[in-house]
Structure 1
Amino acid sequence: MRVLLFLSAILAAASVDGRTVSVFLQPVTQQIPPSFLAEIDYDLSSPSEPAAQVTGYEAPEISSNDDLVRVGLYDRSSGEWTSSTTVLSAENFSKGYSPHFILTTGPDGKEVLGVGCRGVRIDAGQTRDFGPQVIVQVTGKGKQVELNKPVILSPEGKKVVQEEKTFLQKYWWVLAIGVFLAVSSGGGDQK
């Protein structure tokens, strides 16, 4: 019985595709290390829409001299940004605003391509959820280019330039039909 319970727990853990990422913030004008902003858990295994939530959030302390901040994923061990970053106004984190994050992942959901953020004004009469929110956008494969004519290469690998045909070379068959109809139509009955 315990073996069955143990195996079902392992299968349940393996089927969950939950991931956690940490979002960091850095003022653009200062050369200080990025500080922790939020922790986001997301799961792409839900059939309709990816489930995500902000599990940890620390309101940033931004000096009045900083107008712009950078938000993204940062690796403290290597000291580099690991995703694309978003530059936004520091006013998005002021009082009366709730941050809404947009997490963009690759098609498999394992790689986070970027993090976006914007502050949404809190209206106590309109909503009951004042905390930070997150949306996960999964990218898909882009449309492939459709070409009209294939490129013709010579045996040496150079592009072969083909001359454009003249009007007579293109539509000689129309003139042949016209001549045939004129010759075969005859003059009609003469009495």
Structure 2
Amino acid sequence: MRVSALFSTLLAAAAVASAESVVASIFIQPITTPETPPSLLAEVSYEAQPETTAIGEVLSYEAPDLPEGGAAALVRVGVYDAAAARWVSSTSVASADNFGKGLSPHLVLSVDNSKGQILGVLCKGVRIDAGQTRDFGPQVVVVPTARGKHPDLNRPVVLSPEGKNVVPEEKTLLQKYWWVLAIGVFVLVSGGGDSK
């Protein structure tokens, strides 16, 4: 038993050691000036771990210089390939107010760990409460993709009269194994097979 526990611990340690650190550059661009190339917002690092939400690390952060008010108050945030001059990930639209005073930008990365790429970036400003936290800088949360729920094929759908799914009730031990009790009673009544 100890050998299997030791083996599973070693496998878990190997999986953690094999998780590679990925560095990504996040860019920002005002929506009203698409001719202006996107500028670097942050460089982040995270561990590629399948199906586990993780906290990344912000390596560098440049507060964006954005015009105030009007339609210029909207920005595009995502991963940009400057060599190809195109957005590599899906982009999200955020208000420039997310980068204002009293707010800490939080980046949420949607990551496909099987392909090792960022699918999308979300940016939101979180109000800083000096009494609650001492971490005022930008933060990164990495959310990996996961397999969705698959339908149960070849099973009939049972609906209630109201049209809702009926959840089958859990059977008790007696309801599941009544036949064992019936065989025991039959053996006792029939004499138990005593040979005389």
Task: Judge same fold: TM > 0.5, yes or no.
Answer: yes
Match of 2:132 among 126, 141, 146: 126
Q: Which has the higher contact order (CA 8 A, sep 6+)?
A: 2
The residue that corresponds to 2:66 in the other structure is: 62
Quick check: 1:53 aligned with 2:51? no
TM superposition shift of 1:139: 0.7
CA distance in 2, matches of 1:36, 1:30: 16
Structure number with larger C-alpha Rg: 1
TM-aligned CA distance change 1:114 to 1:60, over 3 Å: same
Quick check: 1:117 aligned with 2:132? no
Alignment RMSD: 2.4
CA distance in 2, matches of 1:144, 1:48: 20
**Structure 2 unpaired stretches of 5+:** 1-13, 156-196
CA distance in 1, matches of 2:128, 2:102: 6
Quick check: 1:36 aligned with 2:40? yes
Q: Give the TM-score of the pair, scaled to structure 1.
A: 0.65
TM superposition shift of 1:15: 2.8
CA distance in 1, matches of 2:37, 2:52: 38
Number of residue pairs matched by the alignment: 137
User: Which deviates further from its counterpart, 44-53 or 97-106?
Assistant: 44-53
Q: Deviations over 1:35-58 (max 9, x none)?
A: 000001001249965341111100
Q: Give the TM-score of the pair, scaled to structure 2.
A: 0.64
TM-aligned CA distance change 1:78 to 1:118, over 3 Å: same
TM-aligned CA distance change 1:142 to 1:49, over 3 Å: closer
TM-aligned CA distance change 1:120 to 1:109, over 3 Å: farther
